């Protein structure tokens, strides 16, 4: 599946970035497939998914065995495909005289220590991260400034430990260039752009370059394998606003591939990395495979219908199915990392799961950063430093970590195939949710995708619900809400009086 040496015809492709998006392939002929049971989207909005993914295989009498895949236990007619071959699409039929662009979306990260505080400000100024009630929305930026200043010193320590900044931009730029080369080899000349949500190059900057280049067909490809309203969703909200405000963008045909965790190339590339790292242990069969995913607030799943948890669990199922076919039957589990704030997030938490495994006598652990395709602070510092130290303290003797995919050839080739397969759908109506959905959020334009998704869920609750009262699940949550209310009251007081320590420190401007 890797891109071979470029042919003479392909070598004429420009070295500049090209654009096209990534979608799981549709149900069309000329495709061999392996089918897996899927849950309909509506099931995720109503199901109680509060239980953690406590499926350890291979030890302990009370632990359920994961030979029956979690989602596979629901035998429903809707199927997903893991394709082994890209569609046989003529590039001339797809491209003609159109200028094709691919927009890669990612989170972004500070490149220097001086970037840390403004990066955090951009993060917390996003209403999808901290949502204020309508009457207090004018405090969004002051609150973001307060939190970013308070958290910057600790965050700087983390970035200093990995070299003084995030490598995310360099890695994403490299991925974009490799995808461009692979598309060129497949006779699909395109420009590939990088748009970050919270740091340079911002999505707005990428869109301006797209306009300058005269792109007429755009494929939007979030670099998050699994869809979540807090990652891909936030970037798509931004794109929706940009598209509605610009006449050029309104007339530009585009499509979005919201998630691609079930593609064969991605699954096999992940399995290859895991198999390689297992071989570095003295007793590979005794190693527990520990999938660690970025967490989201539990309310996103239970109340807002976020498909992230279901897609994540199915992704792990598919990788383990691939390893099973290679006679690799290690015990494994899935946990969620990087939680912040007082509210409950998806469980089990990574730190608690590591401690529990140590208590159970596990001595060999291989960490797999399942929701990350690039190295950044969560892999290089949180997993490699914090969780490794915790594991060793918990009695785990041998620790390993699977690297992020980065520019792994099979992975890059699969992304390029996905772009090619999505091109016939650029500008077309979204594929029916019930006929050919390849992920829990359907392929379509930004506006169609969000409209379809929004129709399936209630209003998204805030990560920290500062203005709701009532009984809570824990004293921690209650205390956290009280603390946030106090912060909000402090901000209101300072904004109305123009006095206080935030003004003295220069965090809020003085009007005197």
Question: Using 50, 70 and 90 to split pLDDT, how confident is the model at 375?
Answer: very high
Domain boundaries, the chain: 100-260+411-430, 264-401, 481-511
pTM recorded for the entire structure: 0.76
The yes-or-no verdict on residue 108 having pLDDT over 70 is yes
CA distance 426 to 148: 39
Which has more confidence, 84 or 390?
390
- pLDDT per residue over 444-480, tens digit each? 677 766 766 665 554 444 444 333 333 433 344 444 5
The yes-or-no verdict on residue 6 having pLDDT over 70 is no
Structure tokens at 302: 């239970």
* Residue in this structure with the two tokens 């420190």, named with its chain if needed: 505
Q: Tell me, yes or no, if the two domains 100-260+411-430 and 264-401 fold the same way.
A: yes
CA distance 258 to 307: 11
- Position 302 scores a pLDDT of 87
Question: Using 50, 70 and 90 to split pLDDT, how confident is the model at 484?
Answer: low
Which has more confidence, 245 or 341?
245
Q: Is 367 exposed, middle or buried (0-12, 13-18, 19+ CB in 10 A)?
A: buried
- Position 365 scores a pLDDT of 98
- Position 57 scores a pLDDT of 55
- pLDDT per residue over 303-351, tens digit each? 888 899 999 999 999 999 999 999 999 999 999 999 877 789 999 999 9
* CA 162 to each of CA 107, 112, 165, 375, 449: distance values in angstroms, whole numbers, following the listed order: 18, 11, 7, 10, 37
What is the enclosing helix (H) or strand (E) of 293?
strand 288-294
The mean predicted confidence, pLDDT, of the chain is 77
- Position 497 scores a pLDDT of 63
Which has more confidence, 32 or 210?
210
487 torsion bin: left (phi>0), alpha (psi -120 to 50), beta (else): alpha
Average pLDDT estimate for 262-267: 96
Q: Does domain 100-260+411-430 bear CATH number 3.40.50.1400?
A: yes
Question: By percentage, how much of the chain surpasses pLDDT 90?
Answer: 54
Which has more confidence, 66 or 201?
201
Structure tokens at 289: 């495979």
SS3 of 39-58: the string is CCHHHHHHCCCCCCCCCCCC
Question: Using 50, 70 and 90 to split pLDDT, how confident is the model at 46?
Answer: very low
Q: Which fold does the domain 264-401 belong to in CATH? A: Rossmann fold (3.40.50)
């Amino acid at each position: 599946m890797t891109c071979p040496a470029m042919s003479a015809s392909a070598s004429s492709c420009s070295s500049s970035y090209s654009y096209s998006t990534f979608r799981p392939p549709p149900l069309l002929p000329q495709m061999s497939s392996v089918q897996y049971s899927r849950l309909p989207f509506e099931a995720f909005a109503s199901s109680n998914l509060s239980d953690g993914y406590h499926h350890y295989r291979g030890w302990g009498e009370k632990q359920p065995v994961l030979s029956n895949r979690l989602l596979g236990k629901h035998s429903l007619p809707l199927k997903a495909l893991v394709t082994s071959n890209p569609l046989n699409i003529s590039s001339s039929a797809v491209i003609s005289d159109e200028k094709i662009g691919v927009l890669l979306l990612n989170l972004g990260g500070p490149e220097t220590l001086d970037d840390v505080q403004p990066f955090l400000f951009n993060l917390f100024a996003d209403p999808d991260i901290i949502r204020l009630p309508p009457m207090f929305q004018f405090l969004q930026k002051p609150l973001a400034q307060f939190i970013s200043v308070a958290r910057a010193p600790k965050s700087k320590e983390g970035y200093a430990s990995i070299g003084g900044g995030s490598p995310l931009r360099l890695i994403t730029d490299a991925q974009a260039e490799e995808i461009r080369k692979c598309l060129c080899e497949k006779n699909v000349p395109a420009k590939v752009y990088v748009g970050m949500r919270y740091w340079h190059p911002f999505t707005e900057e990428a869109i301006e370059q797209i306009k300058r280049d005269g792109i007429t067909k755009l494929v939007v490809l979030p670099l998050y394998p699994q869809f979540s309203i807090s990652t891909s969703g936030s970037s798509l909200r931004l794109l929706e606003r940009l598209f509605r405000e610009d006449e050029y963008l309104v007339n530009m045909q585009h499509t979005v591939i919201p998630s691609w965790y079930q593609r064969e190339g991605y699954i096999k590339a992940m399995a290859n990395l895991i198999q390689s790292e297992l071989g570095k242990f003295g007793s590979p069969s005794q190693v527990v495979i520990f999938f660690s995913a970025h967490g989201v607030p539990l309310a996103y799943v239970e109340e807002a219908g976020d498909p992230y948890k279901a897609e994540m669990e199915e992704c792990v199922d598919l990788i383990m199915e691939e390893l099973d076919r290679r006679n690799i039957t290690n015990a494994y589990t899935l946990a969620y990392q990087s939680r912040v704030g007082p509210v409950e997030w998806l469980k089990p938490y990574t730190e608690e799961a590591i401690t529990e495994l140590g208590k159970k006598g596990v001595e060999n652990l291989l960490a797999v950063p399942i929701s990350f395709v690039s190295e950044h602070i969560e892999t290089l510092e949180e997993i490699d430093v914090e969780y490794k130290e915790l594991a060793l303290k918990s009695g785990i003797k041998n620790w390993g970590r699977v690297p992020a995919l980065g520019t792994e050839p099979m992975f890059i080739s699969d992304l390029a195939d996905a772009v090619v397969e999505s091109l016939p759908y650029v500008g077309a109506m979204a594929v029916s949710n019930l006929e050919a959905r390849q992920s829990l959020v359907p392929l379509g334009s930004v506006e169609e995708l969000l409209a379809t998704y929004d129709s399936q869920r209630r209003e998204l609750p805030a990560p920290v619900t500062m203005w709701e009262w009532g009984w809570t699940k824990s004293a921690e949550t209650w205390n956290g809400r009280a603390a946030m209310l106090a912060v909000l009251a402090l901000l209101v007081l300072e904004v109305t009086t123009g006095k206080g320590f935030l003004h003295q420190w220069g965090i809020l401007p003085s009007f005197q």
